[in-house]
Structure 1
Amino acid sequence: MTATSLLSLESVHTHIGAYHILHGVNLEVRRGEVTMLLGRNGAGKTTTLRTIMGLWHASYGRIVFDGQVLSAPGKALSTPEIAQRGIAYVPESMGIFSDLTVKENLVLAARSARTEDDFDSRRLAWIFELFPALRKFWLYPAGKLSGGQKQMLAVARAIIEPRKLLLIDEPSKGLAPAIIHNLIAALRELKRSETTILLVEQNFAMAQALGDRVAVMDDGQVVHTGPMAELAEDEGLQQRLLGLSLASHQ
């Protein structure tokens, strides 16, 4: 783990039942950057995020976060313990509670808040600046929000308290282009707040707009790492690693 690393995975293997999904993943996420995790469907991207978060346990290898071992042979922190160290996870399913209001979803996500009055008022105001719709629909059941508004709520839940690292799985899936543009702007603002992000994304325009570095997965391994700009400029590399051209997916 280098001095600039916030998170590193070292030869991480993950089994789910009889299936061997991750085959020795080596990955570095640098502090203060957005790292894109790309790859074909089934490459192991979601499994990597879930393994970092402790939802699935690594069967071999080490995961180190901010100088602390999260997972190693004979040691595996629980998901709540990992969250307490400053990591939040936004799954592809978003994980919001549809029958609860926007406010109630955020109260549940804030460990230090039992009611709305317990929120850090400056942080809540900042979240409303990022996602104005959440203020408008503050007392609406979350299940009645649009897809884009639900994604905003999912991210807001993850950041209602300061986090060192956000793990986000396909946030743009199914969203209209205008909503994706707003989401990109919000994630850029998060990055400016010194939040490190590891982002799985199939929308390559979004990946190019946000990514500082990229890791490409194939068959349960990281097969390429480097600057996102370098991958975005090299169509031959895109075809070899992803089987497509980013230019065709703008």
Structure 2
Amino acid sequence: MHEMPEPKTGDDALLSLTGVHTHIGEYHILQGVDLQVPRAGLTVLLGRNGAGKSTTLRTIMGLWHASRGTLRFDGEDITASRTPDIARRGIAFVPEDMGVFAGLTVQENLRLAAIGGRFDEARLAWIFGLFPALKRFWLRPGGTLSGGQKQMVAIARAIVEPRKLLLIDEPTKGLAPAIVDNLADAFEALKARGTTILLVEQNFHFVRALGDHVAVMDDGRIVHTGTMAALDADEALQARLLGLHAGAVH
């Protein structure tokens, strides 16, 4: 297994997990995760099906609590924090199932995430610039949208207020290439605004161009960390690490 470099510490790590264990019932899913997410970049979390990627995101968000270890965000210990408190600190989560409310319109889905139910019109205009199609189905119920449209809504809802960190689980799964390209442009625009992104994704072609940093999971642990540029340039390392999750879904 490829030797991991020394983890990032200090001001360049917006989020750090140290020795994090998570149990779900009788199952010991995360088994000592050490992960650092540097500020103002996109970190990709790779790994085979069942390696613990989604559990890592849910543990960060407080949907499941770590049974051991420490999570720190922006200098504060959030290990025992509740999900609403974590969200108020500036973390948003886009789950794999997108979580769009089927009976609410797109407008109502986004309004739920806006402080006081009120939109910042300038920010909303910026979001429409990222996802122009949102305007076309603004008043349509979420349940009538395609998968790609729902993904746009889910991400737009996560960024309707400024966030320090976005946790995004498998955003391109099952989407048409044109929608994937739209998501890539949106992520680049978010990075340009200083938003930090932690992305779980199986489409290596998609993330190799977007990612700044990469971490690979296997059996509930991080087994490789480094820059995406280094992984992209090393075919032997790709073959070894991507064999952990080639063709898998999570």
Indicate the TM-score class for this superposition, using the shorter chain for normalisation.
over 0.9
Number of the residue aligned with 2:101: 97
CA distance in 1 between counterparts of 2:170 and 2:44 reads 11
Deviations 1:84-140 (A, max 9, x none): 000000000001101110000011111332xxxx21000000000000111111111
Number of the residue aligned with 2:237: 237
Q: CA deviation at 1:244?
A: 7.2
Number of the residue aligned with 1:22: 30
CA contact (8 A) 2:19 2:32 kept: yes
Question: Identity of paired residues, percent?
Answer: 68
CA distance in 2 between counterparts of 1:43 and 1:242 reads 13
User: One-letter code of the match for 1:101?
Assistant: T
Q: CA deviation at 1:41?
A: 0.7
Secondary structure of 2:77's partner? strand
Number of the residue aligned with 2:201: 201
Secondary structure of 1:198's partner? strand
Q: Give the superposed CA RMSD.
A: 1.2
CA distance in 2 between counterparts of 1:218 and 1:101 reads 39
Secondary structure of 2:40's partner? coil
Aligned length: 238
CA 190–148 in structure 1, closer or farther in 2 if over 3 Å, else same: same
Q: CA deviation at 1:242?
A: 2.2
Q: Check if 1:49 corresponds to 2:57.
A: yes
Q: Which of 36, 46, 52 lines up with 1:38 in the alignment?
A: 46
CA 24–245 in structure 1, closer or farther in 2 if over 3 Å, else same: closer
Number of the residue aligned with 2:155: 155
Q: What are the equivalent positions in structure 2 for 1:1-250 lying under 5 Å apart?
A: 1-71=9-79, 76-113=80-117, 118-243=118-243
Secondary structure of 1:109's partner? coil
TM-score normalised to the size of structure 2?
Answer: 0.93
Larger relative contact order (Cα-Cα within 8 Å, sequence gap ≥ 6): 2
CA distance in 2 between counterparts of 1:17 and 1:144 reads 35
Q: CA deviation at 1:245?
A: 10
List, as ranges, runs of 4+ consecutive aligned residues in structure 1 with deviation greater than 3 Å.
none
TM-score normalised to the size of structure 1?
Answer: 0.93
User: One-letter code of the match for 1:218?
Assistant: D
Q: CA deviation at 1:44?
A: 0.4
Number of the residue aligned with 2:3: none
Deviates more, 1:229-238 or 1:27-36: 229-238
CA contact (8 A) 1:238 1:245 kept: no
Secondary structure of 1:77's partner? coil
CA contact (8 A) 1:63 1:69 kept: yes
